[in-house]
Amino acid sequence: MSADTNTFQNLPEGSLKVLQLTDCHLYADTSRCLLGMNTQETLNLVSAMALEQLGTPDMILATGDLVHDASETGYRRLRKQFARFGAPTFCLPGNHDIPEIMARLLNQDGISTIPSTQQGNWSLIFLDSTIPKKPGGHLDESQLKLLEDELQKHPDKHTLVCMHHHPIPVNSAWMDSMALNNPEPLFELLAKHKQVKGILCGHIHQEFEHNYHNLLLLGSPSTCIQFIAGQDKFGLADNPPGYRWLALLPDGEIRSGVELLPEMPEGLEFNSSGY
């Protein structure tokens, strides 16, 4: 599904309009590039496109790898940029972030790193799947307990669970080696709570949509570089940066799609073997 200027029009009353921005990989130095791509410039372009196409959403979900060098300068600049959207923004960490720095710098100006929010008929739960100094993901006992507590608090609300790492394979061996390494307790817990409708993640730098055990699993393009889907070795795709939109309907339906920049920004180093 592709977004257009009418994406959020004609929705049922009580629907939540959500913008996901993920894997921004900003640096303290705005001139720095990731594999030849200036990540600040691409975030600027994607943000402007989203505002033009969607208007102001009800909320923004920023699902990790927000600041590549985890610098205080990068988080401060990101906070100011998100604040300009004029929408509540919920941030969770990725493997390149440092959660403690994020929590200290992002909990102001309408930006937050809180574990959940409830709006309308929906509850959104934000998990920290990071392992310090490791690229892969793990949900420790505290995060699983947080998830269980939040689900028990709001049994009558449709629920979207958000985390950085993907909980099932995306059929790319190098990327799947950095997936969530303990999905079993997650899915065992979710199976006990039928109000959960989907899982939203970042990390994979590509569009992904899959129905798994009656859950809609969504992965999304980065606001900078994209990875080749379905390839076992690292490779950069020629897909432009983009975002995901979600419409959370009051009856529990999730409508979603992605939108990419109309052109690929110049400079991407396609011959790169990793980063």
Measured distance CA(19)–CA(175) in Å, rounded: 24
Domain span at 222: 16-258
- Is residue 1 assigned to a domain? no
The two three-digit tokens of residue 235, written as one number: 């490779």
pLDDT in tens, 64-114: 999 999 999 999 999 999 999 999 999 999 999 999 999 999 999 999 999
- Is residue 7 assigned to a domain? no
State the sign of the Cα–Cα–Cα–Cα dihedral 24, 244, 225, 5: negative
The two three-digit tokens of residue 57, written as one number: 């959403």
Neighbouring residues of 153: CB distance < 8 A, sequence distance ≥ 6 = none
pLDDT in tens, 152-162: 999 999 999 99
Q: How many domains does the chain have?
A: 1
Measured distance CA(264)–CA(241) in Å, rounded: 7
Q: What is the pTM of this model?
A: 0.96
Q: Is the pLDDT of residue 172 over 80?
A: yes
- Is residue 136 assigned to a domain? yes
In sequence order, the β-bridge partners of residue 21 are 62
The two three-digit tokens of residue 93, written as one number: 């960490």
Report yes or no: 37 and 228 within 8 Å, Cβ to Cβ.
Answer: no
- Is residue 265 assigned to a domain? no
- Is residue 227 assigned to a domain? yes
- Is residue 264 assigned to a domain? no
Measured distance CA(31)–CA(28) in Å, rounded: 9
The two three-digit tokens of residue 139, written as one number: 């949900």
In this structure, the strands spanning 215-219 and 59-63 are unpaired
- Is residue 3 assigned to a domain? no
Query: The domain that contains 186 carries what CATH number?
Result: 3.60.21.10
- Is residue 80 assigned to a domain? yes
Q: How many residues does the chain have?
A: 275
Q: Is the pLDDT of residue 5 over 80?
A: no
* End-to-end Cα spacing for the chain: 30
